[in-house]
Chains A and B, each alone.
Chain A
Amino acid sequence: MDIYLFLAKGVIILLIFGITLLIATYSTYAERKVAGFIQDRLGPNRAGKWGLLQPIADAGKMFFKEDFIPARASKWLFIAGPSIAMLTACLTSCVIPFGGTLDLTALGIDKPVPIQGMDVNIGILYVFGIVSLGVYGVMIGGWASNNKFSLLGAIRAASQNISYELAMSLSIIAIIMISGSLSVNDIIQDQDSFYKWNIFRQPVGFLIFIICAFAECNRTPFDLPECETELIGGYHTEYSSMKLGFYLFAEYINMFVSGAVISALYFGGYHFPGESLVAGWLPEGAMGHNILTLIGVVAFFGKILFFIFFFMWVRWTIARFRYDQLMNLGWKSLIPLAIANIVVTGGVLLALPQIKDLLSSL
Protein backbone atom coordinates (compact mmCIF):
# COMPACT_ATOMS: atom_id res chain seq x y z
CA MET A 1 0.00 0.00 0.00
CA ASP A 2 1.58 3.22 -1.16
CA ILE A 3 -0.55 5.36 1.13
CA TYR A 4 0.91 3.62 4.18
CA LEU A 5 4.44 4.11 2.93
CA PHE A 6 3.61 7.77 2.38
CA LEU A 7 2.18 8.08 5.89
CA ALA A 8 5.12 6.30 7.51
CA LYS A 9 7.51 8.55 5.62
CA GLY A 10 5.53 11.62 6.65
CA VAL A 11 5.63 10.60 10.31
CA ILE A 12 9.38 10.01 10.11
CA ILE A 13 10.01 13.38 8.43
CA LEU A 14 7.86 15.21 10.98
CA LEU A 15 9.61 13.40 13.81
CA ILE A 16 13.05 14.30 12.47
CA PHE A 17 11.97 17.90 12.03
CA GLY A 18 10.48 18.04 15.51
CA ILE A 19 13.51 16.45 17.13
CA THR A 20 15.82 18.83 15.26
CA LEU A 21 13.91 21.81 16.60
CA LEU A 22 13.69 20.34 20.09
CA ILE A 23 17.41 19.67 20.26
CA ALA A 24 18.16 23.14 18.90
CA THR A 25 15.85 24.65 21.53
CA TYR A 26 17.50 22.79 24.33
CA SER A 27 20.95 23.57 22.92
CA THR A 28 20.35 27.17 23.98
CA TYR A 29 19.70 25.92 27.49
CA ALA A 30 22.64 23.51 27.33
CA GLU A 31 24.91 26.27 26.10
CA ARG A 32 24.18 28.41 29.13
CA LYS A 33 24.36 25.45 31.47
CA VAL A 34 27.69 24.26 30.04
CA ALA A 35 29.04 27.80 30.14
CA GLY A 36 28.04 28.03 33.77
CA PHE A 37 29.52 24.70 34.73
CA ILE A 38 32.81 25.37 32.99
CA GLN A 39 33.04 28.71 34.79
CA ASP A 40 32.26 27.06 38.16
CA ARG A 41 28.75 28.49 38.18
CA LEU A 42 25.39 26.74 38.08
CA GLY A 43 23.82 28.33 35.03
CA PRO A 44 20.08 28.96 34.69
CA ASN A 45 18.18 27.04 37.38
CA ARG A 46 15.14 29.13 38.26
CA ALA A 47 12.64 28.44 35.48
CA GLY A 48 11.30 25.00 36.30
CA LYS A 49 13.27 22.12 37.73
CA TRP A 50 16.98 22.70 37.05
CA GLY A 51 15.89 25.59 34.83
CA LEU A 52 14.47 23.21 32.25
CA LEU A 53 11.78 25.68 31.20
CA GLN A 54 14.39 28.33 30.42
CA PRO A 55 14.15 27.95 26.59
CA ILE A 56 10.39 28.52 26.79
CA ALA A 57 10.92 31.59 28.94
CA ASP A 58 13.52 32.84 26.45
CA ALA A 59 11.20 32.27 23.52
CA GLY A 60 8.39 34.06 25.35
CA LYS A 61 10.67 37.00 25.97
CA MET A 62 11.73 37.07 22.32
CA PHE A 63 8.15 37.03 21.08
CA PHE A 64 7.00 39.87 23.31
CA LYS A 65 9.88 42.20 22.54
CA GLU A 66 9.29 45.09 20.18
CA ASP A 67 9.82 43.98 16.60
CA PHE A 68 11.78 46.94 15.31
CA ILE A 69 12.76 47.67 11.72
CA PRO A 70 15.12 50.63 11.29
CA ALA A 71 13.65 53.49 9.25
CA ARG A 72 16.27 53.39 6.51
CA ALA A 73 16.60 49.63 6.34
CA SER A 74 15.40 47.78 3.28
CA LYS A 75 12.26 46.36 4.76
CA TRP A 76 11.75 43.36 2.51
CA LEU A 77 15.35 42.19 2.70
CA PHE A 78 15.44 42.89 6.42
CA ILE A 79 12.71 40.30 6.89
CA ALA A 80 14.16 37.96 4.27
CA GLY A 81 17.52 37.70 6.08
CA PRO A 82 16.52 35.74 9.19
CA SER A 83 13.92 33.80 7.18
CA ILE A 84 16.59 32.50 4.81
CA ALA A 85 18.92 31.72 7.72
CA MET A 86 16.19 29.69 9.41
CA LEU A 87 15.00 28.01 6.22
CA THR A 88 18.43 26.83 5.10
CA ALA A 89 19.21 25.61 8.60
CA CYS A 90 16.06 23.48 8.66
CA LEU A 91 16.49 22.12 5.11
CA THR A 92 19.77 20.37 5.69
CA SER A 93 18.68 17.60 8.02
CA CYS A 94 16.41 15.95 5.42
CA VAL A 95 19.17 13.98 3.67
CA ILE A 96 20.82 12.76 6.84
CA PRO A 97 19.91 9.17 7.63
CA PHE A 98 19.27 9.06 11.37
CA GLY A 99 19.01 5.30 11.40
CA GLY A 100 18.90 2.17 9.30
CA THR A 101 15.65 0.85 7.92
CA LEU A 102 12.40 -0.09 9.62
CA ASP A 103 10.68 -3.30 8.65
CA LEU A 104 6.99 -2.41 8.61
CA THR A 105 5.52 -5.42 6.81
CA ALA A 106 3.05 -5.68 9.71
CA LEU A 107 1.54 -2.39 8.53
CA GLY A 108 1.37 -3.63 4.97
CA ILE A 109 4.47 -1.87 3.70
CA ASP A 110 6.54 -4.44 1.86
CA LYS A 111 9.56 -2.19 1.29
CA PRO A 112 11.92 -1.35 4.21
CA VAL A 113 11.42 2.25 5.33
CA PRO A 114 14.64 4.21 5.86
CA ILE A 115 14.72 6.69 8.76
CA GLN A 116 15.70 9.53 6.52
CA GLY A 117 13.89 12.42 4.87
CA MET A 118 14.98 11.36 1.41
CA ASP A 119 17.84 9.27 0.09
CA VAL A 120 19.35 11.23 -2.76
CA ASN A 121 22.47 9.96 -4.47
CA ILE A 122 24.15 13.37 -4.14
CA GLY A 123 23.21 13.80 -0.47
CA ILE A 124 26.49 15.26 0.72
CA LEU A 125 26.53 17.70 -2.20
CA TYR A 126 23.02 18.77 -1.24
CA VAL A 127 24.16 19.43 2.34
CA PHE A 128 27.00 21.60 1.14
CA GLY A 129 24.79 23.44 -1.32
CA ILE A 130 22.24 24.31 1.34
CA VAL A 131 24.86 25.19 3.95
CA SER A 132 26.54 27.61 1.55
CA LEU A 133 23.13 29.18 0.89
CA GLY A 134 22.98 29.89 4.60
CA VAL A 135 25.50 32.67 4.21
CA TYR A 136 22.93 34.60 2.17
CA GLY A 137 20.77 34.91 5.26
CA VAL A 138 23.62 36.57 7.14
CA MET A 139 24.70 38.63 4.14
CA ILE A 140 21.22 39.92 3.30
CA GLY A 141 20.47 40.67 6.94
CA GLY A 142 23.69 42.64 7.35
CA TRP A 143 23.20 44.50 4.09
CA ALA A 144 19.54 45.34 4.69
CA SER A 145 20.25 46.78 8.14
CA ASN A 146 21.89 49.84 6.55
CA ASN A 147 24.43 49.94 9.34
CA LYS A 148 28.19 49.87 8.95
CA PHE A 149 28.75 47.41 11.77
CA SER A 150 26.15 45.04 10.41
CA LEU A 151 27.64 45.25 6.94
CA LEU A 152 31.14 44.60 8.27
CA GLY A 153 29.88 41.61 10.17
CA ALA A 154 28.08 40.30 7.11
CA ILE A 155 31.14 40.72 4.91
CA ARG A 156 33.25 38.92 7.46
CA ALA A 157 30.74 36.10 7.62
CA ALA A 158 30.63 35.80 3.85
CA SER A 159 34.38 35.77 3.31
CA GLN A 160 34.91 33.41 6.24
CA ASN A 161 32.30 30.94 5.08
CA ILE A 162 33.57 30.95 1.52
CA SER A 163 37.17 30.45 2.65
CA TYR A 164 36.38 27.59 4.95
CA GLU A 165 33.88 25.93 2.65
CA LEU A 166 36.74 25.25 0.25
CA ALA A 167 38.82 23.37 2.78
CA MET A 168 35.72 21.63 4.08
CA SER A 169 34.70 20.30 0.67
CA LEU A 170 38.26 19.30 -0.12
CA SER A 171 38.47 17.28 3.10
CA ILE A 172 35.24 15.51 2.13
CA ILE A 173 36.59 14.52 -1.28
CA ALA A 174 38.98 12.06 0.38
CA ILE A 175 36.01 10.35 2.04
CA ILE A 176 34.06 10.26 -1.19
CA MET A 177 37.07 8.64 -2.83
CA ILE A 178 37.10 5.92 -0.18
CA SER A 179 33.39 5.17 -0.19
CA GLY A 180 32.89 5.88 -3.89
CA SER A 181 29.53 7.53 -3.34
CA LEU A 182 28.07 10.96 -2.61
CA SER A 183 25.10 9.51 -0.79
CA VAL A 184 25.30 9.98 2.97
CA ASN A 185 23.65 6.61 3.49
CA ASP A 186 26.29 4.85 1.37
CA ILE A 187 29.07 6.59 3.28
CA ILE A 188 27.56 5.36 6.55
CA GLN A 189 27.07 1.84 5.17
CA ASP A 190 30.74 1.85 4.26
CA GLN A 191 31.72 2.32 7.95
CA ASP A 192 29.82 -0.71 9.23
CA SER A 193 32.49 -1.89 11.67
CA PHE A 194 34.26 0.10 14.34
CA TYR A 195 37.76 -0.01 12.83
CA LYS A 196 36.36 1.15 9.49
CA TRP A 197 35.06 4.43 10.87
CA ASN A 198 36.40 7.24 8.76
CA ILE A 199 38.00 8.93 11.77
CA PHE A 200 40.58 6.14 11.69
CA ARG A 201 40.95 6.15 7.92
CA GLN A 202 40.93 9.95 7.55
CA PRO A 203 42.25 11.53 10.78
CA VAL A 204 43.69 14.55 8.98
CA GLY A 205 40.54 15.00 6.96
CA PHE A 206 38.50 14.84 10.17
CA LEU A 207 40.64 17.54 11.77
CA ILE A 208 40.22 19.83 8.78
CA PHE A 209 36.52 19.10 8.61
CA ILE A 210 35.82 19.83 12.26
CA ILE A 211 37.80 23.07 12.20
CA CYS A 212 35.86 24.16 9.13
CA ALA A 213 32.61 23.10 10.76
CA PHE A 214 33.35 25.49 13.60
CA ALA A 215 33.98 28.24 11.07
CA GLU A 216 30.82 27.42 9.10
CA CYS A 217 28.68 27.59 12.22
CA ASN A 218 30.25 30.92 13.20
CA ARG A 219 31.17 29.42 16.53
CA THR A 220 34.10 30.42 18.72
CA PRO A 221 37.01 30.56 17.91
CA PHE A 222 35.64 31.65 14.53
CA ASP A 223 32.77 33.86 15.65
CA LEU A 224 34.21 36.96 14.04
CA PRO A 225 30.97 37.93 12.25
CA GLU A 226 29.35 38.70 15.57
CA CYS A 227 32.25 39.61 17.82
CA GLU A 228 30.79 42.01 20.33
CA THR A 229 33.96 43.87 21.15
CA GLU A 230 34.59 45.01 17.60
CA LEU A 231 31.28 44.95 15.79
CA ILE A 232 28.65 45.37 18.51
CA GLY A 233 26.41 42.49 17.41
CA GLY A 234 27.81 41.97 13.93
CA TYR A 235 25.19 41.26 11.29
CA HIS A 236 22.34 41.10 13.82
CA THR A 237 23.07 44.46 15.47
CA GLU A 238 19.79 45.96 14.23
CA TYR A 239 17.64 42.93 14.82
CA SER A 240 15.29 42.49 17.71
CA SER A 241 12.48 40.24 18.83
CA MET A 242 11.95 36.94 17.04
CA LYS A 243 14.00 37.98 14.00
CA LEU A 244 17.03 38.02 16.26
CA GLY A 245 15.69 34.82 17.77
CA PHE A 246 15.65 33.23 14.31
CA TYR A 247 19.28 34.12 13.70
CA LEU A 248 20.35 32.70 17.04
CA PHE A 249 18.12 29.67 16.65
CA ALA A 250 19.46 29.01 13.14
CA GLU A 251 22.94 28.89 14.64
CA TYR A 252 21.88 26.13 17.01
CA ILE A 253 20.15 24.17 14.25
CA ASN A 254 23.34 24.51 12.22
CA MET A 255 25.26 23.15 15.17
CA PHE A 256 22.95 20.16 15.32
CA VAL A 257 23.30 19.58 11.58
CA SER A 258 27.09 19.91 11.80
CA GLY A 259 27.14 17.39 14.60
CA ALA A 260 24.99 15.05 12.50
CA VAL A 261 27.19 15.44 9.42
CA ILE A 262 30.39 14.91 11.41
CA SER A 263 28.98 11.79 13.06
CA ALA A 264 27.68 10.49 9.73
CA LEU A 265 30.87 11.09 7.79
CA TYR A 266 33.53 10.25 10.35
CA PHE A 267 31.96 8.35 13.25
CA GLY A 268 29.94 5.69 11.50
CA GLY A 269 26.57 7.44 11.71
CA TYR A 270 24.04 5.02 13.19
CA HIS A 271 26.59 2.22 13.51
CA PHE A 272 27.95 1.53 16.96
CA PRO A 273 30.72 -0.72 18.27
CA GLY A 274 29.54 -4.26 18.95
CA GLU A 275 26.61 -3.97 16.55
CA SER A 276 26.85 -7.53 15.24
CA LEU A 277 27.07 -8.80 18.83
CA VAL A 278 23.85 -7.00 19.78
CA ALA A 279 22.21 -8.21 16.57
CA GLY A 280 22.96 -11.78 17.68
CA TRP A 281 21.12 -11.31 20.99
CA LEU A 282 18.01 -9.82 19.43
CA PRO A 283 15.19 -12.03 18.11
CA GLU A 284 15.09 -12.88 14.42
CA GLY A 285 12.77 -11.16 11.99
CA ALA A 286 11.17 -7.74 11.78
CA MET A 287 11.08 -7.16 15.55
CA GLY A 288 14.80 -7.67 16.09
CA HIS A 289 15.63 -5.65 12.99
CA ASN A 290 13.54 -2.70 14.18
CA ILE A 291 15.02 -2.78 17.68
CA LEU A 292 18.52 -2.78 16.22
CA THR A 293 17.59 0.18 14.04
CA LEU A 294 16.24 2.09 17.03
CA ILE A 295 19.41 1.39 19.04
CA GLY A 296 21.30 2.76 16.03
CA VAL A 297 19.15 5.90 16.08
CA VAL A 298 19.90 6.37 19.77
CA ALA A 299 23.63 5.86 19.11
CA PHE A 300 23.51 8.43 16.31
CA PHE A 301 21.79 10.99 18.50
CA GLY A 302 24.29 10.26 21.25
CA LYS A 303 27.10 11.11 18.86
CA ILE A 304 25.32 14.26 17.69
CA LEU A 305 24.75 15.42 21.27
CA PHE A 306 28.37 14.77 22.08
CA PHE A 307 29.42 17.00 19.20
CA ILE A 308 27.01 19.72 20.26
CA PHE A 309 28.61 19.53 23.69
CA PHE A 310 32.03 19.61 22.04
CA PHE A 311 31.07 22.79 20.17
CA MET A 312 30.17 24.41 23.51
CA TRP A 313 33.19 22.98 25.28
CA VAL A 314 35.48 24.54 22.68
CA ARG A 315 33.58 27.81 22.86
CA TRP A 316 34.45 28.23 26.52
CA THR A 317 38.04 27.13 26.04
CA ILE A 318 39.55 28.96 23.09
CA ALA A 319 39.72 32.68 22.50
CA ARG A 320 38.59 34.23 19.22
CA PHE A 321 40.99 34.42 16.28
CA ARG A 322 42.15 37.67 14.80
CA TYR A 323 40.89 38.19 11.27
CA ASP A 324 44.26 37.80 9.54
CA GLN A 325 44.93 34.66 11.60
CA LEU A 326 41.61 33.29 10.45
CA MET A 327 42.43 33.90 6.80
CA ASN A 328 45.98 32.56 7.16
CA LEU A 329 44.73 29.40 8.81
CA GLY A 330 42.08 28.86 6.17
CA TRP A 331 44.03 29.60 3.01
CA LYS A 332 47.63 28.84 3.93
CA SER A 333 47.21 25.83 6.21
CA LEU A 334 43.91 24.03 5.81
CA ILE A 335 43.47 24.16 2.03
CA PRO A 336 47.02 22.91 1.21
CA LEU A 337 46.66 20.29 3.91
CA ALA A 338 43.33 19.16 2.46
CA ILE A 339 44.81 18.93 -1.04
CA ALA A 340 47.78 16.95 0.27
CA ASN A 341 45.31 14.69 2.07
CA ILE A 342 43.49 14.03 -1.20
CA VAL A 343 46.74 13.21 -3.00
CA VAL A 344 47.91 10.85 -0.26
CA THR A 345 44.50 9.17 -0.05
CA GLY A 346 44.46 8.72 -3.82
CA GLY A 347 47.95 7.26 -3.76
CA VAL A 348 47.06 4.80 -1.01
CA LEU A 349 43.83 3.81 -2.76
CA LEU A 350 45.79 3.11 -5.95
CA ALA A 351 48.60 1.29 -4.17
CA LEU A 352 46.46 -0.91 -1.91
CA PRO A 353 45.26 -3.40 -4.58
CA GLN A 354 48.82 -3.62 -5.95
CA ILE A 355 50.18 -4.39 -2.49
CA LYS A 356 47.48 -6.98 -1.95
CA ASP A 357 48.35 -8.63 -5.27
CA LEU A 358 52.01 -8.55 -4.37
CA LEU A 359 51.36 -10.15 -0.99
CA SER A 360 49.15 -12.88 -2.44
CA SER A 361 51.69 -13.69 -5.16
CA LEU A 362 54.43 -14.18 -2.59
Chain B
Amino acid sequence: MQTLTNRSKHVSNKKLSLGERLYLPAIVGGLGITIRHFFKKKVTIQYPEEQRPMSEVFRGLHVLKRDEQGRERCTACGLCAVACPAEAISMVAAERKPGEENLYREEKYAAIYEINMLRCIFCGLCEDACPKSAIYLQSDKLAPSFYSRADVIYGKDRLVQSMDTITSAKSLKSGLTTSDRYVDKVWKNGNY
Protein backbone atom coordinates (compact mmCIF):
# COMPACT_ATOMS: atom_id res chain seq x y z
CA MET B 1 0.00 0.00 0.00
CA GLN B 2 1.20 3.45 -0.82
CA THR B 3 1.99 5.50 2.23
CA LEU B 4 0.82 9.07 2.58
CA THR B 5 3.79 10.17 4.65
CA ASN B 6 7.23 8.73 5.21
CA ARG B 7 6.68 8.67 8.97
CA SER B 8 5.00 5.27 9.13
CA LYS B 9 7.06 2.42 10.55
CA HIS B 10 7.19 -0.94 8.86
CA VAL B 11 6.26 -3.76 11.23
CA SER B 12 7.48 -7.28 10.71
CA ASN B 13 6.99 -10.53 12.58
CA LYS B 14 10.54 -11.77 12.24
CA LYS B 15 12.05 -13.79 15.06
CA LEU B 16 13.96 -11.80 17.65
CA SER B 17 17.69 -12.19 17.70
CA LEU B 18 19.40 -13.51 20.84
CA GLY B 19 20.35 -10.02 21.91
CA GLU B 20 16.79 -8.84 21.58
CA ARG B 21 15.42 -11.89 23.34
CA LEU B 22 17.62 -11.22 26.36
CA TYR B 23 15.77 -7.89 26.72
CA LEU B 24 18.63 -6.58 28.84
CA PRO B 25 20.00 -4.08 26.28
CA ALA B 26 16.48 -2.78 25.75
CA ILE B 27 15.94 -2.53 29.51
CA VAL B 28 19.18 -0.61 29.96
CA GLY B 29 18.08 1.71 27.15
CA GLY B 30 14.76 2.21 28.88
CA LEU B 31 16.47 2.99 32.17
CA GLY B 32 18.50 5.59 30.32
CA ILE B 33 15.35 7.25 29.03
CA THR B 34 13.69 7.36 32.45
CA ILE B 35 16.78 8.75 34.19
CA ARG B 36 16.97 11.49 31.56
CA HIS B 37 13.42 12.44 32.42
CA PHE B 38 14.36 12.37 36.11
CA PHE B 39 16.68 15.33 35.58
CA LYS B 40 14.50 17.17 33.07
CA LYS B 41 12.80 20.44 33.86
CA LYS B 42 9.42 19.72 35.42
CA VAL B 43 6.29 20.88 33.66
CA THR B 44 4.19 21.20 36.81
CA ILE B 45 2.61 24.61 37.48
CA GLN B 46 2.18 25.13 41.24
CA TYR B 47 -1.40 26.25 40.85
CA PRO B 48 -2.54 28.57 43.63
CA GLU B 49 0.84 30.32 43.81
CA GLU B 50 1.65 30.15 40.16
CA GLN B 51 -0.83 30.51 37.34
CA ARG B 52 -0.63 29.53 33.76
CA PRO B 53 -0.32 32.69 31.64
CA MET B 54 -3.47 33.22 29.61
CA SER B 55 -3.47 34.05 25.95
CA GLU B 56 -3.92 37.68 24.91
CA VAL B 57 -6.96 36.69 22.90
CA PHE B 58 -8.51 34.38 25.49
CA ARG B 59 -12.27 34.75 25.59
CA GLY B 60 -13.35 34.93 29.22
CA LEU B 61 -16.08 36.75 31.08
CA HIS B 62 -18.03 39.42 29.19
CA VAL B 63 -17.93 43.08 29.98
CA LEU B 64 -20.21 45.88 28.77
CA LYS B 65 -17.85 48.76 28.13
CA ARG B 66 -18.23 52.41 28.96
CA ASP B 67 -16.72 55.14 26.83
CA GLU B 68 -14.09 57.69 27.96
CA GLN B 69 -16.67 59.80 29.79
CA GLY B 70 -18.10 56.84 31.60
CA ARG B 71 -21.23 56.48 29.46
CA GLU B 72 -22.51 53.07 28.51
CA ARG B 73 -21.72 52.30 24.93
CA CYS B 74 -24.49 49.77 24.37
CA THR B 75 -27.40 50.99 22.33
CA ALA B 76 -29.50 47.84 22.60
CA CYS B 77 -29.53 47.21 18.86
CA GLY B 78 -29.77 43.48 19.49
CA LEU B 79 -27.10 42.48 16.97
CA CYS B 80 -25.19 40.54 19.60
CA ALA B 81 -28.33 38.58 20.50
CA VAL B 82 -28.86 37.82 16.82
CA ALA B 83 -25.25 36.80 16.34
CA CYS B 84 -25.21 34.59 19.41
CA PRO B 85 -25.32 30.95 18.27
CA ALA B 86 -26.30 29.74 21.71
CA GLU B 87 -29.03 32.37 22.18
CA ALA B 88 -27.57 33.34 25.52
CA ILE B 89 -28.15 37.08 25.25
CA SER B 90 -31.42 38.84 25.85
CA MET B 91 -32.16 42.51 26.35
CA VAL B 92 -34.87 45.10 26.80
CA ALA B 93 -34.31 48.49 25.15
CA ALA B 94 -35.34 51.84 26.60
CA GLU B 95 -35.21 55.42 25.42
CA ARG B 96 -32.82 57.85 26.97
CA LYS B 97 -34.60 60.60 28.94
CA PRO B 98 -33.33 64.16 28.95
CA GLY B 99 -30.75 64.56 31.69
CA GLU B 100 -29.41 61.06 31.22
CA GLU B 101 -26.83 62.06 28.61
CA ASN B 102 -24.07 61.47 31.10
CA LEU B 103 -25.22 57.86 31.54
CA TYR B 104 -25.82 56.57 28.05
CA ARG B 105 -24.01 57.57 24.91
CA GLU B 106 -26.81 56.94 22.40
CA GLU B 107 -30.48 57.87 22.54
CA LYS B 108 -31.41 54.27 23.11
CA TYR B 109 -29.93 52.02 25.74
CA ALA B 110 -30.36 48.58 27.25
CA ALA B 111 -32.55 48.76 30.32
CA ILE B 112 -32.03 45.06 30.91
CA TYR B 113 -29.14 43.16 29.44
CA GLU B 114 -28.72 39.54 30.42
CA ILE B 115 -26.30 36.80 29.45
CA ASN B 116 -27.01 33.26 30.49
CA MET B 117 -23.60 31.84 31.29
CA LEU B 118 -24.92 28.29 31.12
CA ARG B 119 -25.81 28.83 27.48
CA CYS B 120 -22.83 30.96 26.50
CA ILE B 121 -20.15 29.09 24.64
CA PHE B 122 -17.65 31.96 24.74
CA CYS B 123 -17.31 32.05 20.98
CA GLY B 124 -16.94 35.84 20.87
CA LEU B 125 -19.37 36.39 17.99
CA CYS B 126 -21.19 39.06 20.05
CA GLU B 127 -17.90 40.95 20.20
CA ASP B 128 -17.64 40.80 16.41
CA ALA B 129 -21.26 41.77 15.86
CA CYS B 130 -21.27 44.83 18.12
CA PRO B 131 -21.19 48.05 16.04
CA LYS B 132 -20.58 50.19 19.14
CA SER B 133 -17.62 48.25 20.59
CA ALA B 134 -19.73 47.77 23.70
CA ILE B 135 -19.32 44.09 24.52
CA TYR B 136 -16.01 42.35 24.98
CA LEU B 137 -14.88 39.04 26.31
CA GLN B 138 -12.14 39.78 28.82
CA SER B 139 -8.93 37.84 28.35
CA ASP B 140 -7.90 38.05 31.99
CA LYS B 141 -11.09 37.08 33.75
CA LEU B 142 -12.86 33.73 33.80
CA ALA B 143 -16.56 33.28 34.31
CA PRO B 144 -16.68 32.19 37.95
CA SER B 145 -18.33 29.00 39.11
CA PHE B 146 -21.86 29.21 40.50
CA TYR B 147 -23.98 27.38 43.00
CA SER B 148 -27.55 28.25 41.98
CA ARG B 149 -29.36 28.77 38.73
CA ALA B 150 -30.11 32.37 39.56
CA ASP B 151 -26.38 33.00 39.76
CA VAL B 152 -25.93 31.98 36.16
CA ILE B 153 -27.83 34.80 34.57
CA TYR B 154 -25.55 37.79 34.50
CA GLY B 155 -27.43 41.08 34.45
CA LYS B 156 -26.15 44.60 33.94
CA ASP B 157 -25.11 44.77 37.59
CA ARG B 158 -22.36 42.26 36.92
CA LEU B 159 -21.66 42.97 33.26
CA VAL B 160 -21.20 46.73 33.00
CA GLN B 161 -17.67 47.94 33.47
CA SER B 162 -17.33 49.48 36.93
CA MET B 163 -17.08 53.27 37.11
CA ASP B 164 -13.87 53.43 39.12
CA THR B 165 -11.93 51.98 36.21
CA ILE B 166 -13.15 54.93 34.14
CA THR B 167 -13.22 58.11 36.25
CA SER B 168 -9.59 59.04 36.66
CA ALA B 169 -7.52 59.67 33.59
CA LYS B 170 -4.93 57.21 34.79
CA SER B 171 -7.29 54.33 35.19
CA LEU B 172 -8.77 55.02 31.79
CA LYS B 173 -6.00 52.96 30.39
CA SER B 174 -6.12 50.28 33.03
CA GLY B 175 -9.83 50.00 32.43
CA LEU B 176 -9.01 48.38 29.16
CA THR B 177 -8.79 44.63 29.15
CA THR B 178 -5.95 42.87 27.45
CA SER B 179 -8.30 41.92 24.66
CA ASP B 180 -8.96 45.63 24.13
CA ARG B 181 -5.27 46.25 23.93
CA TYR B 182 -4.90 43.40 21.51
CA VAL B 183 -7.69 44.77 19.37
CA ASP B 184 -6.14 48.25 19.52
CA LYS B 185 -2.81 46.87 18.46
CA VAL B 186 -4.35 44.96 15.60
CA TRP B 187 -6.32 48.01 14.47
CA LYS B 188 -3.31 50.27 14.59
CA ASN B 189 -1.20 47.84 12.64
CA GLY B 190 -4.04 47.42 10.19
CA ASN B 191 -3.57 43.68 9.89
CA TYR B 192 -6.99 42.43 10.94
Please report A residues at the B interface, Cβ cutoff 8 Å. Answer: 34, 36-42, 207, 313-314, 316-318
Contacts and interface: CB of A to CB of B under 8 A. Distances in A.
Contacts of A313: 31, 34-35, 38
B27 A318 contact: yes
Interface in B20-56: 24, 27, 30-31, 33-35, 37-38, 40-44, 46
B37 A39 contact: yes
A40 B43 contact: yes
Contact of B37 (A40, A42, A318): A40
Contact of B42 (A34, A42, A207): A42
Q: Looking at A36, A38, A42, which has the most chain B CB atoms within 10 Å of its CB?
A: A38
A38 B34 contact: yes
Nearest to B39: A37
Q: Looking at B24, B31, B38, B41, which has the most chain A CB atoms within 10 Å of its CB?
A: B38
Contacts of A318: 27, 30
B38 A41 contact: no
A41 B42 CA distance: 5
Q: Looking at B35, B40, B42, which has the most chain A CB atoms within 10 Å of its CB?
A: B42
A38 B37 contact: yes
10 contacts: A36-B42, A37-B37, A38-B35, A38-B37, A38-B38, A39-B37, A40-B44, A42-B42, A313-B35, A318-B27
A40 B40 contact: yes
Interface string B43-83: 11010000000000000000000000000000000000000
Contact of B44 (A41, A314, A316): A41
A317 B31 contact: yes
B34 A317 contact: yes
Given A37-B37, A38-B37, A39-B37, A317 B42 contact: no
Interface size class of B (residues with CB under 8 A): 10 to 19
Nearest to A45: B46
Nearest to B30: A317
A160 to B, nearest CB: 18
B31 A34 contact: no
A316 B38 CA distance: 11
A314 B37 contact: no
Nearest to B22: A333
Q: Which 9 A-B pairs have the closest CB atoms?
A: A317-B34, A42-B44, A317-B30, A37-B38, A38-B34, A38-B38, A40-B43, A42-B42, A38-B37
A37 B43 CA distance: 10
A37 B42 contact: yes
Given A38-B37, A40-B37, A317 B44 contact: no
A316 B43 CA distance: 18
Contacts of A314: 31
B27 A34 contact: no
Contacts of A41: 42-44
Nearest to B31: A317
B27 A40 contact: no
A296 B20 CA distance: 39
Contacts of B34: 38, 313, 316-317
Contacts of B42: 36-37, 40-42
Contacts of B43: 40-41
Contacts of A34: 38
Interface string B71-102: 00000000000000000000000000000000
A314 B33 CA distance: 11
A29 to B, nearest CB: 16
Nearest to A316: B34
Nearest to A42: B44
A40 B39 CA distance: 8
A39 B42 CA distance: 9
B122 to A, nearest CB: 30
A40 B44 CA distance: 8
A38 B33 CA distance: 9
Nearest to A315: B34
Nearest to B28: A317
Nearest to B21: A333
Contacts of B38: 34, 37-38, 313
A236 B38 CA distance: 30
B55 to A, nearest CB: 23
A34 B43 CA distance: 15
Contacts of B30: 317-318
B40 A317 contact: no
A313 B31 CA distance: 7
B191 to A, nearest CB: 37
B1 to A, nearest CB: 30
B44 to A, nearest CB: 5
A318 B28 CA distance: 10
A39 B35 CA distance: 10
Given A36-B42, A318-B27, 13 more contacts: A37-B38, A37-B42, A38-B37, A38-B38, A39-B37, A40-B41, A41-B42, A314-B31, A316-B34, A317-B27, A317-B33, A317-B34, A318-B30
